[in-house]
Amino acid sequence: MSITVPTWTLITLVSWDKMMVFDISDGSNIKDTTIQAIADFVHWDLSASDVNTALWYTAAATTRKLDNFWVPDDNTDLNSTTSYHWLLPKLLWGTTKFLREDWTWEIPAWWGWSVTYATAWEINTGTETAKAVNPDGLAWSNAFTKTMVITVIDPSADVTTWDGKAYVTVPDCMTGMNLIRAQATVVTAWTTNATTVMVYNLTDTVDMLSWAISIASWGTVGTVWTIDTSNDDVATNDILRIDVDSVSTTEPKGLTVILEFRLP
């Protein structure tokens, strides 16, 4: 619908088919006729049945709010373009479609995707290509495992019993971690009876293993024993002590202890 009205005019509806046009400057009645006739004067292309308001005030500099007009036609005439802002297209009653730049509604390709997280084992193997990594899986993986390798006795020296064969201090980056594995090896095996090794937290005055690591006669690698989960945690500057509780009758040579730590 287009409207062309003379400057400073007041148009008012008298009856369903009759309107009056006034000159605002002196209040004179410019025209008093039927709507169809007045269209010839003000160039208003509508019929009586199209009139949905009783009062129109217009002037050369007057601006009208869009929401003061009647409900627009259900079409795309006022859709915004790359040149004009205008309006959005009609919304759809749904929660899955998004408006594209070309004014079409579409379900994105990523909609409905679910995230599958890799396990610590999958992170360790490093072969998974379609799974995400979360902090929990990462914390339990080898990537976040801290390892201490402690040379307790030189490779050429006999292993002998003593509490405090070696000491190591826990660094700040390991605070809050738990001991998850303890292992011991000798360089040269020897005979008769086992060699046993204990890990002791000197700061907390507790053994960290339920049973000592045991290196069997003629063996070089110890049997990994159970961690004492009540005493497995460490904090910054804890001092850990390596004790050799027993040795084979003929002493082995060289002793190394490996300790692994991980966040709980």
Share of the chain above pLDDT 70, in %: 73
In single-letter form, the type of residue at position 48 comes to A
Domain boundaries, the chain: 9-68, 77-113, 114-142, 145-262
* More confidently predicted of 248 and 22: 248
Confidence of residue 91 (pLDDT cuts 50, 70, 90): confident
The per-residue pLDDT for 237 is 97
> 45, 42, 36, 37: which is closest to 10 by C-alpha?
42
* More confidently predicted of 52 and 40: 40
Q: How far apart are CA 43 and CA 229, in angstroms?
A: 93
Structure tokens at 6: 């003379």
**Residue 40: pLDDT over 50:** no
Confidence of residue 202 (pLDDT cuts 50, 70, 90): very high
Q: What is the pTM of this model?
A: 0.56
Q: Top-level CATH class of 145-262? A: mainly beta
The per-residue pLDDT for 67 is 63
Confidence of residue 36 (pLDDT cuts 50, 70, 90): very low
Q: How far apart are CA 260 and CA 198, in angstroms?
A: 14
Confidence of residue 90 (pLDDT cuts 50, 70, 90): confident
- DSSP code at position 57: E
Share of the chain above pLDDT 90, in %: 41
